[in-house]
Amino acid sequence: MAILKKFNRKAKIENETGLSTNSALSGGRYFNNNGNPNVQVKGMRFFERLNIYHALLSMPRWKFLLVIVIFFISINLVFANIYLLIGIEHLNGMIASNNAEKFGEAFFFSAQTFTTVGYGRISPIGFATSFTAALEALTGLLTFALATGLMYGRFARPRAYIRYSKNALYVPFRDGTALMFRLVPYTKNYLMNVEVKLTVAMRVMDEGVLKTKFFNAPLDISKAITLTSNWTLVHMINEESPLFGLTKEDIKNAQIEVLVFVQGFDESFSNTVISRSSYSYEDFIYGARFVPMYHPNEDNTSTILHLDKLDEYVPAELTIQI
């Protein structure tokens, strides 16, 4: 693959990204579309880098609920087997007639003890069974306290509810060309004092060495007092742009990636929230413009915003050849 040797040396270089400039030692894009770093961590033992609290806070909701259900079933299976090992005769009130029913009775007695429900039909007899039941009740209380804290942490955790368009478009704009993408809030957590910063990463051959250059990509409007509707971000491709003078083939050879950083104040959380995304050269669409996402209602008293049109675009003729 050819390496880009021509790039706009007049563009402002960004040196505060915290990312590696050695292209030979990095692979793929820096950030995924969802904003997560595209990094695989190795060289440490699993339990040294395992952060259970962070994992439970950040995992998808369905996975979190699945973990809770699996843990609940597993812990009761463990205690049910302990009760069976001690002896079923030490559980007063058992009416089971076969092994399957005995296990079922022990399992549901364990579930009742773990949740401290205690219906009373079955009760422990003897020191070993009573001690096990007491230990299980304590485990249940601690577990539910932790689960409640995690549930609250997940719901109360400040988060920027922002969606980005799937593609970034090369659009004819002001007798020239601009790179555009758009974002939209998808809940009623409105943001105030929103600021967006764009950084362009490209691999170039500079003085005979393969490097990654990071450039500041100025936006036509980078700050907004409030974000209640969609926002189309515009980067003019002019003499100040790191993309100035690059053809479509140059962009591909340089493996250009546009890094997006959004910061704003969420009035619901009363806290500052951040969001990240990334557009690789493979996400660029040349010669297109976005379809409007909103229009007035029938009586012209309100605005209707269509979130499902976030990614929609139509062809448009560029004024310059890319």
pLDDT at position 4: 58
pLDDT at position 1: 47
Q: What is the CATH number of domain 48-156?
A: 1.10.287.70
Average pLDDT over residues 140-145: 93
Secondary-structure percent of the chain, ordered helix, strand, coil, rounded to 5: 30, 30, 40
Is the fold of 23-33+166-315 the same as that of 48-156?
A: no
Query: Where do the structural domains in the chain lie, given as residue ranges?
Result: 23-33+166-315, 48-156
pLDDT at position 24: 64
Q: Which of these, 89, 148, 85, 138, lies nearest to 115 by C-alpha position?
A: 138
Q: Are 168 and 258 in contact (CB under 8 A)?
A: yes
**What is the band of 60 on the pLDDT scale with cuts at 50, 70, 90?**
confident
Q: 271-295: per-residue pLDDT in tens?
A: 899 999 999 999 999 999 999 998 8
At residue 73, does pLDDT exceed 60? yes
User: What is the reported pTM?
Assistant: 0.77
Average pLDDT over residues 252-261: 92
At residue 296, does pLDDT exceed 50? yes
At residue 68, does pLDDT exceed 70? yes
Residue with the larger pLDDT of the pair 3 and 12: 12
At residue 74, does pLDDT exceed 90? yes
Average pLDDT over residues 159-185: 91
Q: What is the CATH number of domain 23-33+166-315?
A: 2.60.40.1400
At residue 224, does pLDDT exceed 50? yes
pLDDT at position 6: 58
pLDDT at position 45: 76
9-23, 170-184, 193-207, 304-318: the lowest-pLDDT one: 9-23
Residue with the larger pLDDT of the pair 23 and 155: 155
Cβ-proximal residues to 57 (8 Å cutoff; 6+ apart), any chain: 150, 153, 154, 157
The helix (run of H) or strand (run of E) holding residue 176 is strand 176-185
The dihedral built from the CA positions of residue 146, 152, 158 and 160, taken in this order, carries a sign that is positive
Q: 96-142: per-residue pLDDT in tens?
A: 778 888 899 999 999 999 998 888 888 889 999 999 999 999 999 99
Name the β-bridge partners of 197: 261
The mean pLDDT value of the chain amounts to 86
**Distance separating alpha carbons of residues 58 and 274, to the nearest angstrom:** 15
pLDDT at position 308: 92
Average pLDDT over residues 85-106: 87
Average pLDDT over residues 234-245: 91
For residue 212, the one-letter residue type is T
Q: 7-59: per-residue pLDDT in tens?
A: 666 677 776 677 766 666 677 787 887 777 777 777 777 666 777 888 888 88
Question: What burial class does residue 229 get, using C-beta atoms within 10 Å of its C-beta: 0-12 exposed, 13-18 middle, 19+ buried?
Answer: exposed
